[in-house]
Amino acid sequence: MACRSFIDRVKRSSIFCGGVCMNWLSAVTSCVRRVRTVMSRRAQPRVLLVLKIPPPFGGGELMHQMMAAAFESKYKVLSFNRKTHSKSTQGRFLLSNLIFGSYFLLRVSFTCLLQRPKIVFIWLPKDWYPFLRTLLLAHVLKKMGIRVIGDLHGMDFDFSKRRFRQVHSADAFSAVRVLSGSIARSLRANGYPHHLAVIDNGLEAPSFVHQRQPRHPQEMRLLYMGAISAAKGFADVVKWLDLLEAVSLPWTLSVVGEWVNADFREEMLTTLRAKAYSSRVIFTGVLIDEAKWQALIAHDLLIHFSSWDGQPLTIIEAMAAAVPTIARPVGAIPEMIQDGVNGFLIDDLEEAVQVTRQLYAGEISLSAIANNARELFQRRFRHDIFIGEIERLIARISNSSGFSLSKTEEMFTMKTNARSGHHCNP
């Protein structure tokens, strides 16, 4: 009995010691993992992303919303949105804009003092007063030893070239991300001194969007998506509808977006009420998330007659949904759409009527154009490609010897983009 009791005690003590050992091993392993995590975070550049997210629901805001979701676990993210703001008040000298500007400067400056990031990635406003505010902030951050990357969503700035040259005598930004080579060349021609990195927009589409199969339409289901304004070509859309009626082509038009100007809204609605086809023009307001994608896949053709644009997110979304676009060749659009291959570029409304008539008659294969558009999206405009390019730009700025990309590094950036199917500046 004594012998058996002794053996039981040895077994129990062995089990206990083994448990203790296992606990110690588990604790050591956990510590090692934590140390590795901390070290890997320290090895990454300290980055602050200053992002403008919806509302309002512009292309730049939507892209930054995607960036915030992708990088929130890796970088520090400061998000700004204005629920009562609209495109009509953007950039104007208003008390609400002054209050927001002061809040913006204080919040970003205070965060930089506390966090001491090595790099700040920040959106560049296209309007004069907000741009001056951001430029001032960039100069202050540079004095603090922080490298600043600007993000320009658009084909240019809205203010004059004279003002442009006055404020750009010094390099406040280490680099500026632009949307296409043509936009970069235009900025260079206007005297823009900063280093320019060409990175396409990119997005992630729901799985059901990729399953859509384009068909030959019984009537042309047309879609206008975006800000409803004269600059975005909505008045020309109405004139184009008159021309479609003249050739007896069956159609319906859905208008998705918000009005930018109350006077323009009243003018257009008054014009449409006098048309016999007014019941075939449906205004849905702003649609987001699944409702937006459902609207896309329910239509045959996206209409984008804008005279001023960068790299429209609506065209990329349409490509993901295999919906061809008719557009004017402005901004980065000619580097997105190859005429007659994955969409259509037009110089006047008669061309747009001709293309629409040929698609309806089957003289041009709608399904072939649509599938080519989707293939380009998969090759060039996916979300993972965009996020990877942004990370590479941040790494290059972090590892550059000076405060900005050297000419050699800048050319390397362009060549890399060119090899991956991106268009680049000279």
Q: Which residues of 334-343 are buried (b: 16+ CB within 10 A; e: fewer)?
A: bbbbeeeebb
Q: At what angle do helices 349-361 and 234-246 cross, to 10 degrees?
A: 50
Mean pLDDT of 97-117: 95
pLDDT band at 85 (very low <50, low <70, confident <90, very high): low
- pTM of the entire predicted model: 0.82
Asked whether the predicted pLDDT for residue 178 surpasses 80, the reply is yes
Asked whether the predicted pLDDT for residue 200 surpasses 60, the reply is yes
Residue 234: name the closest of 271, 274, 183, 276 by CA: 271
Asked whether the predicted pLDDT for residue 35 surpasses 70, the reply is no
Most confidently predicted of 85-99, 199-213, 244-258? 244-258
Residue pLDDT, tens place only, 326-345: 999 999 999 999 999 999 99
Name the region of 177 (left: φ>0; alpha: ψ -120 to 50; beta: rest). beta
Most confidently predicted of 14-28, 118-132, 240-254? 240-254
Q: Phi, psi at residue 95, to the nearest 5°? A: -60, -40
Asked whether the predicted pLDDT for residue 163 surpasses 60, the reply is no
Asked whether the predicted pLDDT for residue 15 surpasses 50, the reply is no
Topology of 47-204+385-419 in CATH? Rossmann fold (3.40.50)
CATH for 207-380 (3.40.640.10, 2.60.120.1440, 3.40.50.2300, 3.40.50.2000): 3.40.50.2000
Spans of all domains in the chain:
47-204+385-419, 207-380
User: Tokens 């001023």 label which residue?
Assistant: 308
Residue pLDDT, tens place only, 384-422: 999 999 999 999 999 986 555 544 344 334 434 443 444
pLDDT at position 198: 96
pLDDT at position 43: 47
